[in-house]
Amino acid sequence: MIGVRESVGVAPAWRGGFGRLWTAAVVSRFGDSLRNAAMPLLAASLTDEPVLVALVSACGYVPWILFGLLGGAVADRVDQRRAMWTVDAVRAVVLGVFAVVVARGDASIGLLLAVAFTLTTLQTVFDNAATAFLPALLPQQALGSANARLQTGQQIAGGFVAAPLMPVLLAVGVAVPYGVDAATYAVATLLILSIRIPGGTAPVPSGSRARGLRADIGDGLRTLWRDPPLRALCLATTVCNVGVGALIATLVLHVTGWLGAGSTVYALALTSYSLGSVAGGFCAGRIAARFGRIRSVCLAGAVQFVPLLAIGTVRQVWVLLAGLVVFGLMGLVWNVNQVTLMQERSPSEMLGRMSAAFRTLTIGAAALGALLGGAAATAWGLNAPALCAAALVGLSVIVLLPVVRAADSSPADEEAF
């Protein structure tokens, strides 16, 4: 087992590249949250077909399944900073044109689906490039803190800034959220374009262009599979995301049907999850410093099992809200340490491909979970998806246990993971 010595207490410097990258990520998440909330409403105004409305959300998953591995291979072949600002520039243009079309009243459900699919396809390149870019910008010992700050900032921007502004912007005009999102991508483009990497441009493997994309993708999959902690982490996250997808897709039915509450409680439920996630961003580094990264992920899953079980069995609003706070907190502890461990253990020239393989499996699992959640709610009741999520999160912990035990039993790995 390969050991990786952790230094989780080093904070990244805000001045320079990381501060600009953080600002670009937070600004973009703000715009994305506005757009993601506005698109289903626009779809519902354009068609009465539930399947077509659901397809808008599906466009957030399907391109990852189709193109995620390809996006990772591309991210490893190019200058990652250039890939990031180019993708953001294209997204700014796409959304700017779309905002004009919506403002003119010429939007159609077909155009809406095409735009959603295009934006997510571009995201497969951006996200994989961003994951591979951060280690070129910061020393390894600062990655954990950097990932926590990035994810916490994005949660605040999406959950606490964008959400309250959404009704105000829609009152101004139905196209305004898309115009604002286009502007955030333009700002992010300029910020990323201005970043300078210490020591020059991040290196691109000299032999990567001579090989086929299929060979590159295969190398990324094999390298991920041959690393025991990353393999276990990928399998555990895939299992966990099936449950999370089931819960999130049916949460509105859980609130309005099983609990008999209204839209206000549903909004409070989403806010509770966001509150927990922000708290998790502040706790992730401390928990990793105490237990190590793999153990922190395992602990997060074990703790999440309890609130999920309570949500699925106790018919009280306060249990749902408190449970989602804990669930969100431990979810961000999982995510921060997962991403950081991937960055620490992956060869730099293959990080984009390994990240893509990881994301393709785990995001595809969330899409499958959404379908299974609907089936479980229909067959066994509206609280069944929460209970299924609890069972699958518990199973994910079992998947991680062999790696945790191996680290505990090996003195050489005492400070690894």
Tens of pLDDT, residue by residue over 90-118, are 999 999 999 999 999 999 989 998 998 99
Q: Label residue 178 by pLDDT band (50, 70, 90).
A: very high
Query: Contact, 343 vs 134, CB < 8 A?
Result: yes
The answer on pLDDT for 200 being more than 60 is: no
Q: Which residue has the higher pLDDT, 171 or 10?
A: 171
pLDDT by residue (tens digit) across 354-388? 888 888 888 888 888 888 888 888 889 999 999 99
Number of other residues whose CB lies within 10 A of the CB of residue 390: 22
The answer on pLDDT for 250 being more than 80 is: yes
pLDDT by residue (tens digit) across 251-297? 888 888 899 988 788 878 888 998 999 999 889 989 998 998 999 99
pLDDT by residue (tens digit) across 123-155? 888 888 888 888 888 888 888 888 888 989 888
What's the pLDDT at 334?
96
Return mean pLDDT, the chain: 85
Range among 158-172, 197-211, 321-335, 370-384 rated most confident: 321-335
Residues in the chain: 417
What's the pLDDT at 374?
83
Percent of the chain surpassing pLDDT 70: 90
- Name the residue with tokens 């005492």: 414
Chain centroid, CA 119 distance in Å = 15
CATH entry 3.40.50.11540 includes domain 17-201+213-413: no
In angstroms, the CA 114 to CA 109 distance is 9
What is the residue-wise DSSP string for 325-359?
A: HHHHHHHHHHHHHHHHHHHHHS-GGGHHHHHHHHH
CA 98-46-55 angle, to 5 degrees, is 80
In angstroms, the CA 229 to CA 294 distance is 8
What's the pLDDT at 176?
93
Query: Contact, 195 vs 20, CB < 8 A?
Result: yes
φ, ψ (nearest 5 deg) of residue 416: -85, 160
The answer on pLDDT for 25 being more than 50 is: yes
Q: Which residue has the higher pLDDT, 266 or 414?
A: 266
The answer on pLDDT for 299 being more than 50 is: yes
What's the pLDDT at 207?
46
- Sign of the dihedral defined by the CA atoms of residues 267, 269, 275, 280, in that order: negative
In angstroms, the CA 314 to CA 316 distance is 6
Q: Mean pLDDT check: name the lowest of 43-57, 70-84, 366-380.
A: 43-57
In angstroms, the CA 68 to CA 321 distance is 34
Task: Tell me what the mean pLDDT of segment 48-66 comes to.
Answer: 75
Q: Which amino acid is at 30?
A: F
The answer on pLDDT for 409 being more than 70 is: no
Q: What is the pTM of this model?
A: 0.79
Domain borders along the chain are 17-201+213-413
φ, ψ (nearest 5 deg) of residue 68: -60, -45
